[in-house]
Amino acid sequence: MTAGQLSKILPKAGKWLLPSSAFIYLLSLFFPGACGPLTSPDASWELVLHSAFSRHLQFGRDIVFTFGPWGFLYGGYYPTTFLISALAWTMLAFVFWWAGWRVANHFSSSRLFAWLWFIGFAGIAGMWIDQSFDVRMTGWALLLLFLHFFVEEGRISALQILLVFASGMLALVKFTALIEIAVVVGVIAADDAFRRRRFPWVSILFPSSILFFWILAGQQLGLLWPFLRHSWALAGGYTEAMTWNMPEEIEVVIFTLLAMAALFALTSYAAWEKCRFSAIFPATGLGAILLLSFKHGYVRYDQIHEVTAVLELLLVTLGCQAVIWPVLHKKSWGARAVNFVTLAVIYLFCSFTFNRCYSEQNFPDERLWEHFAQTLNIKNILMPATLLGNPEHLRDIYAENLAEVRGKFPMPPVEGTVDVYPWKIAGLFSRNMQYDPRPVIQSYSAYTPELAELNAGHLRSDHAPENILFDIDPMDAKFPSLEDGLSWPELLTRYDISDTTGAFLLLKRAATPRQHRLTPLDEATIHFGQTFALPAMTNAPLWAEMEINKSILGNLASIFYKPSILRLRISLRNGRQLFYYRLVPGMMRGGFLLSPLINDKKSFVALATNYWHGLAGLDVTAINISVATKSGSTFCYQPTIKLRLYRLDFPPQDLIDTNAEPDKTR
């Protein structure tokens, strides 16, 4: 073959080879190859989402969580949903590839440079980390935004219709995805109406797609509104309840905000060059994406969330370059230099943060570029074909993981339906128990009185499980009885303790429910930092409701970042002072057991049986609420705390099989 013939063939081959190879690569990243369940108990909710879809449980009623009926697409493997997940992600990968390839060709007229941009964008969007869905969801929103404002001209295209329609499925995976897409759809609709003077078709298509995929998932149409309402309550309570801080946070946050501000300014300038005053619309959409990415990484500031945040930042940087560079390459060298410096600094920051976070998790050899290079491994690229050709491989790994879960979380044999408190659900699946979930499936997610009441009401209903495996294991050092606090009186009166010998207490539903009663004792207004003496109680539990309201600055902090963490110091009758338990204002408003301090299974058994000798010295005699800041500043909250105290009375139960001593004084 002559050089002339080769020069004619290569462009034609590249015309098809580059985009097709880009799709194959993207599919290898999006295809569900995770061999779950993850052995971490915190990840067991992924199994619940797969099971919920298989059993047609109704979201908004049976399941109230931060995920929707298509939430199983988030990750993990489950035998009955694998094929559906594979088909769904193949379809979504095709739409992502089509939109991404259009944006790539806007970035550069050179097919090779467009291909390189797409490989980088897709590689970051699909990189295999714990929360990769959140990163690819950011990429999806960027493509939807930039395709409308910078790439597609004129009338609505088939690609835009397909992209918005497929967004309805992703919106029902995770509620924050729905919020992100809804904001982008909103600014596109506004641009259609005010700048392009045409009917805002997306305002009809996007809600219609949500309805379509809601019904396709086997959900009742009448439950869509409860699903949205409860999901909003979960999203609103997350910031207050799940905030976590780290020592180096301020420096990282400042740099992240500066990097985001630079990207926002450069992209807004490109939008101004494109559509002048209507640049407010794409700027608003990009600002919302950046805000959600920022909050996703730094509200709960730990290694996993930080890694996810820097990958989202890197992805946004690549996405913004696709629309910035076509404008800046025509400008002066100074403008292009500013852009290149911004790119270099952001990459170095992301790479350094990625490496540091993995080092802190005892993976010192992990590097960002190496992690990316692994996605280009031929074995990984051919993974979809391998998994479809040999699905038994996934089933074998799934069985091995379940065996590992059984070893980590021993549970007693149970007959009948069962739920587990507070959140170690994976053990139930590993033993094929008849899992009967409460609405808010993990106790630490019952952030508000309304959400906590859903769980308490479930225990009072005819649908309550026959058995409950109960443990006390609060997340983030919360006060032990705070999570699902409204359910504790129901657990004490509607269930009998059957077995105390294992890692969990086994509670069985009582044939005849007992009754509990709250008798008002006192109301008081206290201040932060004030030590408040509680009324002396004689062999009776003390129930509390507290109202701590945020200030205007606190509400703004919750919207754009996070409020300060609240902490509780308690004094016990035995003279001990315990420092410090975490408090969540939403959980406190609903009510919780304040005294005695029930911090393990043994003390819970003593409480249920009225065995006060076993609770000796655990009466809480005084409390002190403060803010976990170095300065002690309470600017996020109003200065006063309303406290209501009650006596909690309920008939004690007798134990048939227990290691606790009988109460000889009863």
Alpha helices in 415-471 (DSSP H): 426-430, 449-460
Boundaries of every domain in the chain: 3-379, 517-649
pLDDT of residue 356: 83
pLDDT at position 656 = 53
Report yes or no: 118 and 158 within 8 Å, Cβ to Cβ. no
Domain 517-649 has CATH 3.30.1490: no
CA 622, chain centre distance (Å): 35
User: Given this model, what pLDDT does residue 434 score?
Assistant: 94
Query: How far apart, in Å, are the Cα atoms of 382 and each of 101, 226, 641?
Result: 21, 42, 60
> How confident is the model over 60-88, as pLDDT tens digits?
999 999 999 999 999 888 899 999 999 99
**194 φ/ψ angles, rounded to the nearest 5 degrees:** -100, -35
Q: How far is CA 434 from the centre of its chain?
A: 26
Residue from 147, 168, 154, 161 nearest 201 by CA: 161
pLDDT at residue 571, as a whole number: 94
pLDDT on residue 132: 79
CB 126 within 8 A of CB 29: yes
Sign of CA dihedral 383, 388, 389, 393: positive
User: Alpha-carbon distance 375 to 370, whole Å?
Assistant: 9
**Could you tell me the mean pLDDT of each successive run of 10 residues in the chain, 666 residues long?**
53 76 93 66 81 96 96 90 94 97 92 93 87 89 95 86 96 96 96 91 96 97 96 93 87 92 93 89 96 92 88 94 87 79 90 81 67 84 85 85 84 91 88 94 94 97 96 93 96 94 92 94 94 88 96 92 93 86 95 95 93 88 91 85 96 67 43
pLDDT at 660: 44
Whole-number pLDDT of residue 367:
74
As to burial, measured by CB atoms within 10 angstroms (0-12 exposed, 13-18 middle, 19+ buried), residue 45 is buried
pTM of the shown model? 0.91
* pLDDT computed for residue 375 by the predictor: 84
Picking from 420, 322, 299, the residue whose alpha carbon sits closest to that of residue 48 is 420
Q: How far apart are CA 2 and CA 6, in angstroms?
A: 6
